[in-house]
Chains A and B, each alone.
Chain A
Amino acid sequence: MASSSSLGRVLTLCKRFQSVFRISPAISVQHCAVNLKRCQNNLLSEKSSLIASSWITPISFVGQRRALHTTVSRRGLEEFFDQPENWGEPNVKSGAPWTAKQLRTKSNEDLHKLWYVLLKERNMLLTLAQEAKRQSLQMPSPERMKKIERSMVRLDTVVRERETALRLLQTGQEKGRPGDWRRNVFGYEYWYRFKEYTIPWYMNKRHERKKFYTPHFVQPHIRLRIERFLRERARKVNLKRKTLAKLKERFPQMKLPSS
């Protein structure tokens, strides 16, 4: 099959680099990229970070570039499952999650590729968890799910930060999606985010029925809400004062806390 021959070709190409760089096979490289940081072998982690940066792009000798990478992954649905060696193991080792500080050092291309690596790992863990539930068995190392989730959230944060910075520099807009402070029927002021429509707002019959003002009869309800809020705040203050008074009575030499 065409795929196997191309795989063979790329593997032989990789062998040329093996003596120089000691590249591990594609499968474990992907897993190293996922569970970077705190790998026992620091050397391997450095190399795998470089490998992760270009694991999708194929080798090309056109420009005589020494592209440090592995093969284009040809595994299809196998990527929904762990390596076959880990099937049935009670524990699977994994490294620490990515921190925002580490992710900020990576380029946009790296982050884009890392997102997909994390996505595939997450799909694999979800498959594993569901199958474990089905077979009424324990999933090996369930902490991996949280690690991946947190890494993805941090990656998203970093990308968002970069996007806001670029937007501020280029256009001066703080938010990507336009919005406004509006008052709703219940007397609350909230950030209303604009939505795209094909017709203008004054021609939108459904939008007319939406009220962006507080009717007069809602004022008593707002007043009751304010009273409840003030009562709760007063209760908190009173409680604090009374506890301090009791303590002072019990321990006369006590020094009152500054806060």
Chain B
Amino acid sequence: MSVTKMVYPLYQLGNPQLRIFRPSWFLTLVRPGKEQPPDTVQFRIPMDMTKYDVKNYLEKIYNVPVGVVRTRIQFGSNKKRNHLNQRVKKPDYKVAYVQLAQSQTFTFPDIFPEKDRTLKEGSMEEMQEKFMEDEKQRQKSDPRRGGVTEWFGL
């Protein structure tokens, strides 16, 4: 039933509950720009998703207890211009602030931690690293000059 553009059938009193199989909606969890309460998770959602859609999505697919969802639409600026002086539009997107139920908290983790890599002996990366270090060493001035620039004679 999943389509690129969702067509909702008409609802009249007594009709069965609308169900969507294989939804083509994709959420992006984002780090909040402004400080949020500890139980709030911030998502970027497709424009045609509603608060009820987000709640059902997270509860059914991710098994996350959702309390309340608030949404807003962020306008993408149309002010920037390209090299042809044409205005370039940044796409609009919808933001959902999801508050978790059952007093759960969520902090956005650090996904790019600094890992000290031990380079394999004789590998390409190790040779490149050595080469770069040698180059940097060559660029540095003679330490015996004590910080004096090369401009001065001798």
Evaluate contact between A119 and B26: CB separation under 8 angstroms: yes
Evaluate contact between B28 and A126: CB separation under 8 angstroms: yes
A110-149 toward B: CB 8 Å interface, digit per residue (1/0)?
A: 0010011001101100111111101101000000000000
Within 8 A of B (CB), among A36-66: none
Given A73-B63, A88-B113, A126 and B2 touching (CB < 8 A)? no
Within 8 A of A (CB), among B84-123: 106, 109-115
Chain B: which residue is nearest A133 at the CB level?
B30
Given A122-B26, A126-B26, A198 and B10 touching (CB < 8 A)? yes
Given A119-B26, A134-B31, A77 and B112 touching (CB < 8 A)? no
Instruction: Name the distance in Å between A116's Cβ and chain B's nearest Cβ.
Output: 6
Given A126-B26, A127-B29, A137-B112, A76 and B2 touching (CB < 8 A)? no
**Cross-chain contact of A77 among B10, B29, B31 (Cβ < 8 A):** B29
Evaluate contact between A116 and B109: CB separation under 8 angstroms: no
A174 touches B (CB below 8 Å): no
B27 touches A (CB below 8 Å): yes
Evaluate contact between A130 and B109: CB separation under 8 angstroms: no
- Which B residues are CB-close (under 8 A) to A159? 22
Chain B: which residue is nearest A3 at the CB level?
B63
**Segment of A9-17, A79-87, A220-228, A235-243 engaged in the interface with chain B:** A79-87
A177 touches B (CB below 8 Å): yes
Instruction: Name the distance in Å between A79's Cβ and chain B's nearest Cβ.
Output: 6
Chain A: which residue is nearest B113 at the CB level?
A88
Give the distance in Å from the alpha carbon of A137 to the alpha carbon of B111 in the complex.
11
Interface size on B, residues (CB 8 A): 29
Evaluate contact between A127 and B21: CB separation under 8 angstroms: no
Main secondary structure of the interface of A (DSSP, over half): helix
Evaluate contact between B109 and A112: CB separation under 8 angstroms: no
Give the distance in Å from the alpha carbon of A129 to the alpha carbon of B30 in the complex.
10
- Which A residues are CB-close (under 8 A) to B31? 131, 134
- Which B residues are CB-close (under 8 A) to A81? 29, 109, 111
B25-41 toward A: CB 8 Å interface, digit per residue (1/0)?
A: 01111110000000001
Evaluate contact between B62 and A88: CB separation under 8 angstroms: no
Chain B: which residue is nearest A128 at the CB level?
B111
Give the distance in Å from the alpha carbon of A116 to the alpha carbon of B32 in the complex.
26
Evaluate contact between A177 and B44: CB separation under 8 angstroms: no
Give the distance in Å from the alpha carbon of A73 to the alpha carbon of B64 in the complex.
11
Of the listed residues B22, B31, B61, the one surrounded by the most CB atoms of chain A closer than 10 A to its CB is B22
Evaluate contact between A130 and B22: CB separation under 8 angstroms: no
Known: A88-B111, A88-B113, A116-B22. 17 other contacts (CB 8 A): A79-B62, A80-B27, A81-B29, A87-B110, A88-B114, A112-B21, A116-B61, A120-B62, A123-B26, A123-B28, A126-B27, A126-B28, A127-B29, A137-B112, A156-B24, A177-B7, A196-B9
Binding site for B on A (CB under 8 A): 73-74, 76-77, 79-82, 87-89, 112, 115-116, 119-120, 122-123, 126-132, 134-135, 137, 152, 156, 159, 177, 196-198
21 A-B pairs in the complex with CB atoms less than 8 angstroms apart: A77-B29, A77-B62, A80-B62, A82-B111, A87-B109, A88-B115, A112-B22, A115-B2, A115-B22, A119-B26, A119-B61, A126-B28, A127-B30, A129-B28, A130-B44, A131-B31, A134-B30, A156-B22, A196-B10, A198-B10, A198-B12
